[in-house]
Amino acid sequence: MSDFWILLTGVLVAACSGILGTFLVLRKMAMIGDAISHSVMPGIVIAFLLSGSRDSLLMMVAAMACGLFAVFLIQLFQNKGVQADASIGVVFTALFAIGVLLVSLFARQVHLDQDAILYGEIAYVHWNTWIVNGVDLGPKAVWLLGVTLIIIVTVISLFYKQFKLCSFDPALAAACGIPVALFHYLLMGLVSMATVSSFESVGAILVVGMLIIPAATAYLLTDRLSVMILLSVGVGILSVFGGYGAAVMLDASIAGCIVCAAAVLFALAFLFSPSHGIVAKKLRLRKLAA
Amino acid sequence: MNTLWTLLQDPNMQWILISCTLLGLSSGIIGCFSYLRKQSLMGDTLAHAALPGICIAFMLTGTKSIMYFLIGAGLAGVAATFGIGWITRHSRIKHDAAMGIVLSSFFGLGIVLLTLVQHGGYGNQAGLDKFLFGQAASMVGSDVLTLSIVSLILVSVCYLLFKQFKLVSFDPGFAKGIGYPVAFFEQLLMLLMVVAVVVGIQAVGVILVASLIITPAVSARYWTDRLGVMVVVSGIFGALSGATGAIVSSTGDSLPTGPLTVLAATALFGVSLLFGTKRGIIVRRLVQQRMKRTLGFGYEEQAATASVDERINKEAAL
């Protein structure tokens, strides 16, 4: 049974981050995803210190606020003339440092250690279950991720056209009267939410891998946005299964193995993708030359 | 204050302080060039990529010698730079996604190796995870010596090749035109960055060491428009942050050096943002007001149209 819950958690993480990662990769904001996943740290720790529990609504809200705050600061510094990637670097390292410092200062009160921040505790998800009136409803992480996934799917499918236009041609979108900034922050809010819900299971840093690698793999396989989203989720799910198998065999970190599996899938797509792979390109060149 | 003084008299502490200061100094200096070449986040990627290098070095040698770690992390960093270059050159994936891919897959591999080391039969592995958040106090005499020498080498290379680096950072096209081996200098700068990051890992940790490369350089930019001054200011900021981190961290036992160093650097950034003499917020306000006074009424109309233009650009940029 524990295998089932771990895999289900992994699949939910893959689905949430696969959908959002697609937009991040298309909008050239992969590193902002990285920044957000680091920046939610202080929010999580502060909410934890205040509420004393790991799965409160407060934690979600605080972490989302931190993620959006980071995005806002990055934008602010950029407008003040700091280069884009430098402003990302300044903001997320500072926020992450605050988070780590809080954890080490209150390490005794906080049942959150540095390892959990880094690798998450996907192996223990099935221990932390949600019990209502004595009925065991399954792990809390699964519920949290499930709700997050539903929200993400709802928002994205409601505003699919707007998100699509904003990712491919923001200038046209602005000219059409779409509030580009609003959708920017909406997307960032969703990314923060996905990061927080995945945080407990895969850790703050490896969630970046799940956001970017499957989406980039899908980007190499197709030219259609809808297909890319589905492929990205699919690649994510495949890496969850492959990674979990490898982790069990090697007795190593599950989250680390999942990201490694995603990297292997990316490498395969990079080499052998029928449309954008290196091998296919070489073959096409040779055919042209002949 | 008194305890601080006794702390500073401890020779061990003095060494740690010196090496942290030197680390900050050298990464601040290197950071200027990477900032100007718009490669700040490369530092982050290189740092994350160093983790598997460190683990492999430990697995192969079985010792926790900084020298081997430097070699392992350096090789991993070079592999990461080549990986990013390869991905961007041979596919339609953009630079930032390529960085994210390389960063997270190397880090994932590093975590896997770290857990393998922890679960496997390697003795003496305790403290390997100190590399994640940095613990300057865990350095021993020989480490301090190695780190200090490497930092000094970094600083002197930058001093000797200052003119070349300057030209390559500002106008690589012109540098190529007058016959400079631009590619060589670019690779050299990248290599120096790898070394700076790897050296900083011990004190600041894998995840936060990028901040030592980025933040001091960004802060220094607020004070000057001249590269020479910027390099010096950034070096000083880095050194101050390193020293502060080392001192504060040694006052309590559960305080990792990394976050403290980063927060010191961020505080300096905040000060620069407000009070910087060239681009600081206050100076800009003053200049704007003076402009308003001298230009009078017409300026405001112009500013109004300019701000509308700016808003359209901003929306488009998003």
Question: Which CATH code is given to the segment(s) A2-289?
Answer: 1.10.3470.10
The total domain count for chain B is 1
Whether the CB-CB separation of A237 and A246 falls below 8 Å is answered with: no
Alpha helices (H) in B62-94, listed in sequence order: 66-90
Domain ranges of chain A: 2-289
In-domain check, residue B298 = no
Report the distance separating Cα B289 and Cα B309, nearest Å. Answer: 21
Nearest to A114 by CA among A123, A125, A104, A129: A104
Domain of residue B240, residue span: 2-279
Report the distance separating Cα B316 and Cα A147, nearest Å. Answer: 33
Q: What tokens were used for A224?
A: 């259609």
- Per-residue pLDDT band for A50 (boundaries 50, 70, 90) equals confident
- Top residue of B41, B46, B104 to mutate, by most chain A CBs within 10 Å, is B104
Contacts of A259 in chain B (CB under 8 A): 104-105, 107-109, 111
CATH number at residue B117: 1.10.3470.10
In-domain check, residue B184 = yes
In this structure, chain B runs to a length of 318
**Among the ranges given (A13-17, A113-117, A167-171, B5-9), the one the predictor scored with the smallest mean pLDDT:** A113-117
Measured in degrees and rounded to the nearest 5, phi and psi for residue B147 equal -60, -40
Collapsed DSSP state (helix, strand, coil) of residue A42: helix
Residues B98-148 have pLDDT tens digits of 999 999 999 889 888 888 887 776 655 556 666 666 666 667 777 788 888
| A158: closest CA of chain B, how far (Å) | 21
Residue in A closest to B104 by C-alpha: A209
The interface predicted TM-score of the complex, written ipTM, equals 0.88
Contacts of B211 in chain A (CB under 8 A): 89-90, 93-94, 97
Check residue B126 and give its pLDDT. Answer: 59
Residue A111 has pLDDT above 70, yes or no: no
In-domain check, residue B225 = yes
| A127: closest CA of chain B, how far (Å) | 21
Residues A119-170 have pLDDT tens digits of 666 777 777 777 766 666 677 778 888 999 999 999 999 999 999 998 888 8
Look at B115 and A98 and tell me if their CB atoms are within 8 Å.
no
